[in-house]
Amino acid sequence: MKDLNSIWRIALGLLALLFAVTITSAEDMAKEKKPSKAALEKYDANKDGVLDEAEQATQKADIAAKAKATKEANLAKYDANKDGKLDEAEKAVKKADDDAAKAAMKAEKEAKKAAKEPERK
The values of phi and psi at residue 45, to 5°, are: -65, -40
Per-position pLDDT tens, the chain of length 121: 667 778 888 888 777 877 776 665 555 555 667 889 999 999 999 999 999 999 999 999 999 999 999 999 999 999 999 999 999 999 999 999 999 999 999 999 999 988 887 665 5
> What is the rounded distance in angstroms from the CA atom of residue 75 to the CA atom of residue 85?
7
- Cα–Cα distances (Å) from 22 to 13, 15, 18, 19, 99, in that order, read 14, 11, 6, 5, 42
Nearest to 36 by CA among 50, 48, 57: 50
| Residue type for position 34 | K
